[in-house]
Chain A
């Protein structure tokens, strides 16, 4: 797995709000009240309004998945291409998974294909080597240089500093694609572990290692920031 220096990636785009809430006036039923089964029924019937509702509901999470795998620069194109596949292949959807998972798989496959074309594979073969904390243990396996305390114990307060948020963006951008993809999908998007493994075609064991190593990198970033105020 090559390092994460994808051409065209701009590290300041991870956290920008990606759009205000929209409600299309032509949708008779509030979008959030339409069940997934009803959406599938409408999509299969070729309903333009069902398609509009589905795009409104799922394009955002699909964009987050695309960004997780390839970074922000090409993510919108991947999502747009994914929706072309959706309305061409919806007739083949057999509800073996949820519509949401099916859509995520389509966009993830598109993102992974883009990586392959740029010769950057999203595989589990190149699992990370030593942890960033590897040098902080003594020969007997105990902390020789224990982690510093953080200024807050509150999730609300941890990543609020603008400088730390910039550090977070930078570190996510430098992370190997597979680590970033698992971390963003699991810890930021809140997908279940099974969903992440299914979408990214990873074994649970590999996904666990990737997630843990990604988290450790960000922990070390926070440690450094807490001690120095810099990335």
Chain B
């Protein structure tokens, strides 16, 4: 019979769907009876979803982009591009 500590240990794997069928069943039986663990699992899922919404935006600062492009121009290793750039 699963205990609360087991739910605490396995909650992330439960949410990821990484547990065996028998483990999932044991956890679900415990969750049916334990409101504390239901809350714990709910909070873990809520946190993971909230973090995703607070992710850093996907664009780099313009100054960094400019430095990267300037570095590429200064680097002589890259072969010259085509006469008419396809992009």
- Report which A residues bind B (CB closer than 8 A): 14-15, 17-22, 27-29, 34, 42, 45-53, 55-56, 59-64, 67, 76, 79-80, 83-84, 87-88, 131, 133, 137, 140-143, 146-147, 149-150, 153-156, 158-159, 165, 168, 183, 187-190, 193, 208, 211-212, 215-216, 218-219, 222
Contact = CB atoms under 8 A, between A and B. Distances in A.
Contact of A51 (B4, B72, B79): B72
B69 A153 contact: no
Contacts of A63: 56, 60, 64
Given A19-B61, A80-B67, A80-B68, A29 B87 contact: yes
B7 to A, nearest CB: 9
Contact of A88 (B43, B58, B75, B86): B75
Q: Which residue of A61, A62, A156, A187 has the most chain B CB atoms within 10 A of its CB atom?
A: A187
A79 B87 contact: no
Given A48-B73, A208-B13, 11 more contacts: A48-B81, A48-B85, A53-B87, A55-B68, A60-B59, A137-B5, A146-B40, A155-B46, A155-B52, A156-B53, A212-B12
What does DSSP make chain B's interface, helix, strand, loop or mixed?
Answer: helix
Nearest to A212: B12
Q: Which residue of B51, B72, B75, B82 has the most chain A CB atoms within 10 A of its CB atom?
A: B51
Contacts, number: 188
A84 B71 contact: yes
Nearest to B11: A212
B29 interface: no
Interface in B12-67: 12-13, 16, 18, 34, 36-37, 39-40, 42-44, 46-62, 64-65, 67
